[in-house]
Homo-oligomer: A and B are copies of this chain.
């Protein structure tokens, strides 16, 4: 009874996972319809962040994970000497903060790349809930392991692939992530600056720029500023595999 009432009187601060269009990507993905209320109970409808604003900062107390609702986020770590390394880009439906799970402080800094809204999952409540919902726990393990795998793939990209291969791989990754959200996988606008791409891929900005124009001259993509169109997806896929060819 009480639950039924709460269901219809959702406070304005409470998110409604039931109605969220991202429920098939985000945490609700792993939660039974019946248990969805329990997830809604702990989630906090987050603030809106403007471009450049910090969602959280490295070395401050770790309190919450955040799901991107709209917009985009970049995470980065700063080494002792002040060097920044972009560690990831997060799009709607993706969970930010997993690299801090089980730690006292945030392991990285998260910044909004554009106007961005998020849902907030307080970590103590989330851990408690995953202890009760085995499927949710399993999903958390899955998400975290995927982040490990992604990071390993990045390491491989950085250590073995050329500038062209790295950029082709990033474009394809973004493409498939747009597609998951039922958006065009060939025509989208990059949420991040060339600088962020360069930093993420371990390249100089100038190199990123040069590769973009080279791809454009080859008719593989068409780009003006952040607007990108993938004209020849197959060619891009070939580029990422190019590396192997030479070694055969």
Chain A interface (Cβ < 8 Å from any Cβ of B): 77, 79-83, 85, 87, 98-103, 107-108, 127-128, 130-132, 134, 137-149, 151-156, 158-160, 201-202, 241, 243-245, 247
Contact = CB atoms under 8 A, between A and B. Distances in A.
A212 B127 CA distance: 45
Contacts of A156: 77, 79, 83, 85
Given A127-B141, A138-B127, A154-B155, A160 B98 contact: no
Contacts of A77: 152-153, 156
Copies of this protein chain in the complex: 2
Contacts of A81: 241, 243-245, 247
B127 A159 contact: no
A101 B202 contact: no
Contacts of A247: 81-83
A201 B155 CA distance: 9
A87 B148 CA distance: 10
| Residue among A99, A152, A160, A241 facing the most chain B CB atoms (10 A cut-off) | A152
A102 B152 contact: no
Contacts of A140: 102, 141
6 contacts: A79-B244, A98-B148, A102-B139, A141-B144, A144-B145, A151-B151
Contacts of A143: 102
B145 A137 contact: no
A137 B131 contact: yes
A110 to B, nearest CB: 13
A145 B85 contact: no
Contact of A103 (B87, B142, B201): B142
Contacts of A132: 131
Nearest to A128: B134
A144 B85 contact: no
A151 B159 CA distance: 13
Nearest to A158: B158
B101 A243 contact: no
A143 B99 CA distance: 10
Contacts of A144: 101-102, 141, 144-145, 148
Instruction: Rank and list the top 10 A-B pairs by shortest CB-CB distance, nearest first.
Output: A81-B244, A159-B202, A102-B142, A151-B151, A102-B141, A101-B141, A85-B156, A99-B148, A158-B158, A101-B145
